Every structure is written in C-alpha cells, then in structure tokens.
Amino acid sequence: MPNVVNDSAVTYALFEARDLASRPRFWLVMIGVSLVLGLVGPFGTFETLPIAGRISYWSVVCLVSFWVGFLTSTVLAGLAEDRGLPDPVAVMLGGLGASLPIAGIVSAMDAAVFGASFWSEIARLLPYVAVISVVVAALFEVMIGPDTIPVIAAETPDLPEWTRRLPAEIGRDLIALQAQDHYVTARTSKGETLLRTSMTEAEEALGAYGLRVHRSWWVARQWIDTIETRKGRLMIVLRDGARVPVGRVYRSAVRKALQRPK
C-alpha cells in the first residue's frame, strides 16, 4: 500500500457510510437526538431561538457534524492502521483528527446564528469535542454486534505457477501468507516455510487464487469459510478454524469479493 493518502481508505469510509445510511434505525436515532436537543435547547439555544429554530439548528449540527466526523475519523483510522498502528491507537487518532472539522462546523454555526466569534468558539469547543469524538469513535467500534456472514463458495482454481516455489514436503495447497519484514511466511495444509519475497510480489503472482486482506496477510479463496465481525473487527475465518484480521482499508474490497450482492 503506498504511503500516501490513497483512495483505499476513502473507498472504505464511503462504503461504511452508505451501509450506515441504509439503516432505518440510524435515521430514527438521528431524528430522535435532534428533536430532544431542539426541545431541551442546551448551550443557551433555549433562550435565544424559538422551538422551530432550535430543532432546525440542532438537526443541522447533528447531521453535518456526524457525517463529517464519521468520514474523517474512518479515513484517518484506516490510514493509521494501514501503517501498522494497533487498532485502538488508530481509532483514537481517527477520533482526534475528526474533532477539528467538527469543532469548526459548530463554531461556524454559532457565528452565523448567534454572531459569536468563530476563533473564540473553536478554541473553546475543541478540547471538549476532541474528548467526545474519541469516546464516540471507541463506542462505535465496541457496540457493533457480533455477526458471522457466509461467503460465496469459491471454485477450485488451477494452482498458480508461483506455488512451485514452495518446498515439496509442505505441498502446494497454499492457505495463507503472512509478511515478516523482507520475507513472507507461506502456510499450507502440511506445514509452513519462509520465502524471501514481498507481499505485493506474491499477491500479483497469485492473482485471483486469493485475496490480500491486510497489509500483512493474504489468504487463498478456497480456504475461506466465513467473514466474522466482533466488536468492530472484521476477521476471515478459515476452514481450519484459524482467524485472519482484515485491515480497515481492505474491508470494502473483501466484502465485495466474498459476499453475494444484496
């Protein structure tokens, strides 16, 4: 994966946003939150705005800040994870990164509606928004319920020429590859070996025989049993029971390749 802002993290974020936007429960929650805030009128809006104005104000703040924050944090967390950072650290950085545009949106709204100073507002709000953004990002990950999703059955493919590099004693029934610095550990149904190659080179040579599912993992299609989600983490479950993590920026491609269209 190139060390630049690429479209992989953005593609994943848009995929997740479309999936979330298709859920009626999400919109019911957003409407409920907007109505409650509009009726209660926190942060001085009860005294300064009529009820219709309060509901409109909080609806715009909730919707715009949520989507900007969601997309920003998802992209940044994906890029952080793609560079090898642990998932909790990636989530925290995503939440912190999202706090700046969210604080900017709320400050701009306050400046437009109440005549407040934009820079004073953003300086006042940013620390609070940063804490809330990190907490919400963490809760969003944890609260995603467990789910096991069957995948499209793979046809038995022809063995790629690349598998001839495997020692005869472990056979050519390749299950998975794992990156190890400048080497790759190749695992078959009979054992494993260390090869001096890169994941990118192996992935290109193996083609449709398998999928790159993580910066450090590749799996053979015929060995994939199900996709499992648990506490926000996506895993590939193999036929032998092993679980392989799916990197954030690979999730949309993995789902598209393995799940039947709805």
Please state, as a whole number, how many other Cβ atoms lie within 10 Å of the Cβ of residue 22: 10
What integer is the mean pLDDT of 73-94? 82
Q: State the pLDDT at residue 5.
A: 38
Q: Which of 73, 66, 74 is nearest to 16 (CA)?
A: 74
Q: Assign 114 to helix, strand or coil.
A: helix
Rg (Cα) of the chain, in Å, rounded?
Answer: 23
Q: How would you class 44 by CB atoms within 10 Å of its CB: exposed for 0-12, middle for 13-18, buried for 19 or more?
A: exposed
Residue 101 and residue 121: Cα distance in Å, rounded? 13
Q: Which of 2-6, 42-46, 49-53, 235-239 has the lowest mean pLDDT?
A: 2-6
Please state, as a whole number, how many other Cβ atoms lie within 10 Å of the Cβ of residue 157: 14
Greater confidence, 157 or 36? 36
Report the mean per-residue pLDDT for the chain: 84
Task: Enumerate domains of the chain plus CATH numbers.
Answer: 7-143 (no CATH), 149-258 (2.40.50.1020)
pLDDT 10s digits, 107-134: 998 898 888 899 999 999 899 999 988 8
pLDDT 10s digits, 251-262: 877 877 877 554
For 252, the token pair is 């949309």
Residue 154 has, within 13 A of its CA and on its CB side, a CA count of: 19
Greater confidence, 248 or 102? 102
Residue 115 has, within 13 A of its CA and on its CB side, a CA count of: 1
pLDDT 10s digits, 209-238: 999 998 889 999 999 988 887 656 778 889
Q: State the pLDDT at residue 181.
A: 81
Q: What are phi and psi of 169, to 5 degrees?
A: -70, -20
